[in-house]
Amino acid sequence: MSYTLNKKSIASEIAKNYELSQKVSQEIVDSIFEEMKECLVSGGTVDIAKFGKYEVTERKARTGVNPSTREKIEIPASKAVKFKPSKTLKDSLK
């Protein structure tokens, strides 16, 4: 069985569990994710207890290969968000 969680379903659960309107709970969820984004953009770390940590990592520039033409290409340096699950989350997946 596959289950997908997204912002809309999180807002629905908050609305149901706390007897809030869907609009208010959606605003709360949007606010949380906006704060997380701003923290990461400014170089911070988002650390959620018993869940995990999000942080920005630097990827170095490197040489790659275009799979269709086999020619070498330069891949520029970039940033990526890395997620490290907490021990609690890892243990619950066993």
Q: What is the pLDDT along the chain (94 residues), one digit of tens a residue?
A: 678 999 999 999 999 999 999 999 999 999 999 999 999 999 999 999 999 999 999 999 999 999 999 999 999 999 999 999 999 999 999 9
Structure tokens at 67: 């799979």
Domains with residue ranges and CATH for the chain: 7-92 (4.10.520.10)
The answer to whether 43 touches 61, Cβ cutoff 8 Å, is: no
The amino acid present at 54, given as its one-letter code, is Y
In the chain, the amino acid numbered 21 is: S
For residue 1, the model assigns a pLDDT of 60
pLDDT at residue 3, as a whole number: 84
What is residue 11's predicted lDDT score, i.e. its pLDDT?
A: 96
Q: pTM here?
A: 0.81
